[in-house]
Amino acid sequence: MFESLTQKIQGIFDKVRRRGKLSEADINEILREIRIVLLEADVNYKVVKDFLAKVKDKALQETVLKSISPSEQVLKILYEELTELLGRESKVDKHVPSVIMLVGLQGSGKTTTGGKLSVYYKKKQGRPLLVACDTRRPAAVHQLEWIGNSINVPVYKEETDPISIAEHAIKFGREKVYSPVILDTSGRLHIDDELMTELKETYQRVHPDEVFLVVDAMTGQDAVNIGESFAKFIPVTGIILTKMDGDARGGAALSMRAVTGVPIVFVGTGEKSDALEPFYPDRIAMRILGMGDIKTLVEKVESAALREKEVKSIEKFDMNDFMEQLREIKNMGPLDQLISLIPGMSKVTANMPVSVDEKRLKRIEAIISSMTKKERENPHTIDASRKKRIAKGSGATVQEVNQLLKQYEQIKEMIRQVSRMEKKGRFPMLGGRL
């Protein structure tokens, strides 16, 4: 997420960080470059204009211009204003809603998002029930049933009209103590009166706790326009942006809250059933500014049951541990995404493998098995001749062995960083400079 935007903003601050002082002209130059970057990222023009006006007003204060490190002060202001722009506080994690109504256009990922929400709330001690209210799209019910079976979540269906299905499902859910009851409503290829009438009637009859609008982030400003249109017709309480992992620009995410007045609550980060992240404005602001997101990383590490092992064994972390950790980390997502969450390490992920799949794990196991006990325990002893022997013994190339050793060092550094932050009992914000 935000890869292109992050790299460009980092480039701007890399140029000015070496300057001891910043003049008003310097700050105007920084803001002019950020303006171009934001517009290139497809952020709404009015949003960019208002955002930079607030940043400029704070950045030109005397306390900033005369501070020891004015560039870091400007970065701090950007962080604060970005957090404000994105919504400041996240509304997720406060409770498990009883009824969630999913709305959106056809093709936005509404049905698959219903499955991902079910997985998320199951982890929060919920007992989700998926409801097939989309009676218009061919095979929509079958798709939802397939998703439900794959994640072990029941699906409620009937052969009647969508509003009756929703009413009966909620009654059934209350009797059987399901929560949340997730209504997968019908979509259209475009916004029309028929769609909005059906959604409004469903809302008025079932009174859901939450109405989540599902929008494809890849559509950029069209996503913002869709969000604004839906918010005018139905009381949307939150937005879920899908396919954020494929949107390196991030314009929709930065514009949504300001234009629609509705907070982003979740973002889809992949195709897996658990690839749905709560949207925390402060953490996203840190990612955009290239300062990592150690809180999210710690949560991912803890959810994979790694924390206790890593704190105990980091100093003696060898290739045997590496293999064990890879099996755990495979369930946490792409390694480049994980390491980019560490402050100051977002630039090291460009040449990293995209994921750790079963095929790659077997390849890695073969390479590690070709190492001697001493080499596994002390990878730093593996020189050029040893690499050739290991490559030959595992059926791999020397390049693959080098790649594995590099990956080993990167994961070791990732675990060391998390351990260090945990031991100190603090999480760095913007690299610990605020």
CA distance 12 to 364: 39
Same domain, 227 and 175: yes
| pLDDT (0 to 100) of residue 167 | 95
Q: How confident is the model at residue 430 (pLDDT cuts 50, 70, 90)?
A: very low
| pLDDT (0 to 100) of residue 335 | 53
- Bridge partners of 131? 156, 183
Query: 285 lies in a domain?
Result: no
Alpha helices by DSSP H, 176-239:
193-206, 221-233
The sign of the dihedral angle between the CA atoms of 294, 296, 351, 318 is positive
Mean pLDDT to the nearest integer, 114-137: 91
Amino acid of residue 415? I
Nearest to 227 by CA among 206, 211, 243: 211
pLDDT in tens, 354-380: 444 557 777 888 899 899 988 988 888
Q: What is the CATH number of the domain that holds 402?
A: 1.10.260.30
Query: 56 lies in a domain?
Result: yes
Same domain, 158 and 235: yes
CA angle 151, 155, 161 (to 5 degrees): 150
| pLDDT (0 to 100) of residue 358 | 57
Domain hosting 40: range is: 3-86
| pLDDT (0 to 100) of residue 233 | 87
Mean pLDDT to the nearest integer, 394-405: 90
Which 3 state secondary structure label does DSSP give 236?
Answer: coil
Mean pLDDT to the nearest integer, 181-209: 89
Phi and psi based region of residue 60 (left: phi greater than 0; alpha: psi -120 to 50; beta: remaining): alpha
Query: 431 lies in a domain?
Result: no
Q: What is the CATH number of the domain that holds 268?
A: 3.40.50.300
Q: Mean pLDDT over all residues of the chain?
A: 80
Cis peptide upstream of residue 379 (ω within 30 degrees of 0): no
pLDDT reading at 61 higher than 50: yes
CA 13 to chain centre: 24
pTM as predicted:
0.69
| pLDDT (0 to 100) of residue 238 | 92
pLDDT in tens, 308-343: 444 445 566 788 777 776 666 555 555 555 555 554
| pLDDT (0 to 100) of residue 35 | 93
Query: 121 lies in a domain?
Result: yes
Q: What is the DSSP letter of 130?
A: E
